[in-house]
Amino acid sequence: MIKGKVENIKDKIDGNELDLSLSNLTEVPVKELAAFPKATVLDLSCNNLTTLTPEFCSLTHLIKMDLSKNQLVCLPEEIGQLGNLQHLDLYNNKLKMLPVGFSQLKSLKWLDLKDNPLEPTLAKAAGDCLDEKQCKQCASRVLQHMKALQEEAEKERERRLLKARELEKKKEAKQREKEAREREAQKKKKADEKERKRKEYQAQMAALAAQEQQKKKKEEKKKRAAQKQGKKTASESVPKAKRSICSLVFSLLLKLLLLLIVGVASVIAVCQLTELRKEAFCVPLNAHFEETVRWAQGLEVVQQVIQKMSDLRS
């Protein structure tokens, strides 16, 4: 036998029993043992085993197993897979507690846990194993104890799951509240932004309306000024037109008067200086002319003019 390995396991088999005790083993040769499923009784006592691997629990053909006088500090959780195991000797190891999966060993009828530093409740449940009856009672009480622990563990697990769910629900509720607040804040932000834009738009419209109103006022003012100026121009143009018409009429009358005077003077000259003065139409005309000349000569102004003309000649 080499440390950790077994030389010629087949030579260790006697019927359905495989004896690997006192083999200085530090680990169980699981693969080699699996090759002999008819070896339902396994003796691993008096070795240096400290742990059993999860793969060890695949040896489901085992019915009786002796692990006494080793250094085992724990058993694998998967030990419950050994559903055919009826006899288990764990005497004189370093076990303080058993895995919860131990309660799944439903076929277990015999158990020895003496000389292990078991925790108090497990030690109380195990009791002594000094004879066949006590070892059977130990198996029954330990399975009940482990089932109770499993149920308690299940309840604890359910409580933890429930608590985890509640915490998750609270977390989700807080997250929903947070998201709702964020949505509300975002909504309020959008509403505020919309209100700000609306006020800006109203302010712009009010400014445009004010500008339009001022523009209209200026236009109306210009229009009134233009109308006033037009009226003033019209009122000024009427006298000018009247004066223009009067001037035109006066000029026309003056021209007619001059033409008349020239005509009369021409007729008088013809009647005074030509042979026609003896004609019938010239006689009264000459008489009126001479009478007018005498009247004019009687005027002081005319006399002064005649005097000045005489002075100028001399």
Distances (CA, A) of 161 to 150, 153, 168: 16, 12, 10
- Which of residues 96, 121, 151 is at a domain's end? 151
For residues 132 and 260, membership in a common domain is answered with no
Identify the bridge partners of residue 43 per DSSP, sorted by sequence position. 19, 66
130 occurs within a structural domain: yes
Considering 151, 169, 201, which residue would you say is the last residue of a domain?
A: 151
Conformational region of residue 52, where left means phi above 0, alpha means psi within -120 to 50, and beta covers everything else: beta
**Are residues 23 and 49 in contact, defined by beta-carbon separation less than 8 angstroms?**
no
Domain extent for 261: 245-312
Contact 100/76 with Cβ under 8 angstroms?
Answer: no
Q: Are 276 and 270 in contact (CB under 8 A)?
A: yes
- Does residue 142 lie in a domain region? yes
Task: Give me the helix-helix angle, 282-297 and 300-313, nearest 10°.
Answer: 90
Among 71, 68, 5, 14, residue whose Cα is nearest residue 41: 14
**pLDDT of amino acid 2:** 38
Using the 8-state DSSP alphabet, how is residue 281 labeled?
T
* 255 shares its domain with 135: no
Asked if the structure places residue 232 within a domain, the reply is no
- Within 8 A by CB and 6+ apart from 40, the residues are 16, 61, 62, 63, 64, 84
**For residue 254, what pLDDT is reported?**
78
| Position 128 in a domain | yes
Q: Which CATH number fits the domain that encloses residue 72?
A: 3.80.10.10
**Domain presence at residue 107:** yes
Q: What is the pLDDT along the chain (314 residues), one digit of tens a residue?
A: 434 344 578 889 999 999 999 999 999 999 999 999 999 999 999 999 999 999 999 999 999 999 999 999 999 999 999 999 999 999 999 999 999 999 999 999 999 999 999 999 999 999 989 999 999 999 999 999 999 988 988 888 898 999 999 988 998 999 999 999 999 999 999 999 999 999 999 999 999 999 988 888 888 888 888 888 877 765 655 555 566 777 777 778 877 877 777 777 776 776 766 766 667 667 776 777 777 767 766 666 556 766 666 666 55
Q: pTM for the whole thing? A: 0.54
288 burial level (CB within 10 Å; 0-12, 13-18, 19+): exposed
Domain contains 157? no
- Give the pLDDT of residue 294: 73
Domain boundary among 118, 133, 151: 151
Count of structural domains, the chain: 2
What distance in Å separates the CA atoms of residue 142 and residue 75, rounded to the nearest whole number? 15
Tokens of residue 69, six digits: 């006088």
pLDDT at residue 197, rounded to an integer: 92
Considering the domain boundaries, does residue 179 fall inside one? no
What is the three-class DSSP state of 5? coil
pLDDT at 57: 96
Q: Which residue has the tokens 């009826």?
A: 86
